[in-house]
Amino acid sequence: MLLGWNRITPNIRKSVLEGLRTGRPQGGPYHIELNWTDRCNVECFFCNNLEKNRASLELNPKVVERVIREGRSKGLQSVRLSGGGEPLFHSHLKELLDILKLHKVRIENLTTNGLCLTRANCQSLIEAGLDEIIFSLNYADRYSYAEGMRTRPENFDRSIQGVQTLFDTAAGMQEPLPVLIVAFSICRQTRKDIPRMYEIGLRLNADRIAFRNLHGIAQSQDLTNSDMEWLLLDLGRLIDQENDLSRLEFRFSNPVLQDYCMEKIAPRIDKSHVNAEVGSVRHCSVPWYSLGIRGNGDVYPCCNLLLDGPFPLLGNVNCQSLEEI
């Protein structure tokens, strides 16, 4: 996930870095994280947005069209559809995807549970231009899926079918296939499921299979020390058997898990192309060329700041233009 960086020109990249140096943005936004709905069709027990989901706020298509049109005039190249609720569960999805298509703004990343990937929606996504999809499957079987995501067991199979439909649709339209990342969640319930998760990723021909541990959950659902021992064994076996390490993605907030995986991987990584100065970088450039918009219209500096916290609210697109913000 490149957050639109790959779609801006070298000259714009230089201006972004100049803005980072001087503390004043030089233009843009060139990328928007567009969380256009808080509505969702599941209720994951680990969701940090449940209260907003239940409020079901979402951006009006007229507001989205105005934002995209103005953004395009300022060099907007791409959007990421994620966060808040399920992005494909917006009440006016077809209209919104048509807006992106009309203004030639690509979807650089879609994060979805897959349940709304009908053939019609898949066609609209491909027509708009889809670079990458993160498929949040989270679980390895229909029963743990139903329990953890508080939905019907058959939705496990339905979500997988949705992803297959997306790729069948793209192939049928003779369009480039998006990069597929299948994402799984690790907690007490799934502590022994890494091998099965990996097999599902392989069956879906995933470009990357991502694992993350859940945090901020009840102690009864969190990993214990004995769970960690089991996980480390399974992760070690997985890394040893995988010939293509680029297929594996570890997003563990737990330092024991993340450090173990990085130490296992390190001896097999070709470091000849790595910039020796990268370790000295102390600043993130994303807020200097991108911004995040919530379902209620609030605008924040970037995607990672969409959770409640002491972060600056820049404005609201329901009553302000991007220029004002």
∠ CA 144-117-75, rounded to 5° = 120
Is 196 part of a structural domain of the chain? yes
Domain residues for the domain of 164 are 28-226+288-310
Cα→Cα distances 255→10, 16, 261, 321, Å: 35, 32, 10, 41
Specify whether the CB–CB gap between 116 and 85 falls below 8 A.
no
H-type alpha helices, the chain: 10-22, 50-55, 61-73, 93-102, 119-128, 142-149, 154-172, 194-203, 225-241, 255-265
Specify whether the CB–CB gap between 291 and 32 falls below 8 A.
yes
Specify whether the CB–CB gap between 65 and 317 falls below 8 A.
no
Is 98 part of a structural domain of the chain? yes
84: left (phi over 0), alpha (psi -120 to 50) or beta: left
Two structure tokens written together for 270: 């070709």
Give pLDDT < 50 ranges for the chain.
Answer: 277-278
Which H, E and C letters describe 2-58, residue by residue?
CCCHHHCCHHHHHHHHHHHHHCCCCCCCCEEEECCECCCCCCCCCCCCHHHHHHCCE
Is 198 part of a structural domain of the chain? yes
DSSP assignment of 233-260 = HHHHHHHHH-S-GGGEEE--SSHHHHHH
Query: What pLDDT is stored for residue 282 in this prediction?
Result: 60
Is 52 part of a structural domain of the chain? yes
Give SS3 for 147.
helix
Query: What pLDDT is stored for residue 215 in this prediction?
Result: 82
Is 8 part of a structural domain of the chain? no
Is 53 part of a structural domain of the chain? yes
- Report the CATH number at residue 45: 3.20.20.70
Query: What pLDDT is stored for residue 251 in this prediction?
Result: 92
Distance CA 35, CA 44 (A): 18
Q: How far apart are the first and last CA of the chain?
A: 26
Distance CA 220, CA 46 (A): 13
The residue among 295, 302, 294, 291 whose CA lies nearest residue 324 is 291
Is 272 part of a structural domain of the chain? no
Specify whether the CB–CB gap between 61 and 95 falls below 8 A.
yes
Specify whether the CB–CB gap between 246 and 210 falls below 8 A.
no
Instruction: State the total domains in the chain.
Output: 1
Is 89 part of a structural domain of the chain? yes
The residue among 135, 139, 143 whose CA lies nearest residue 116 is 135
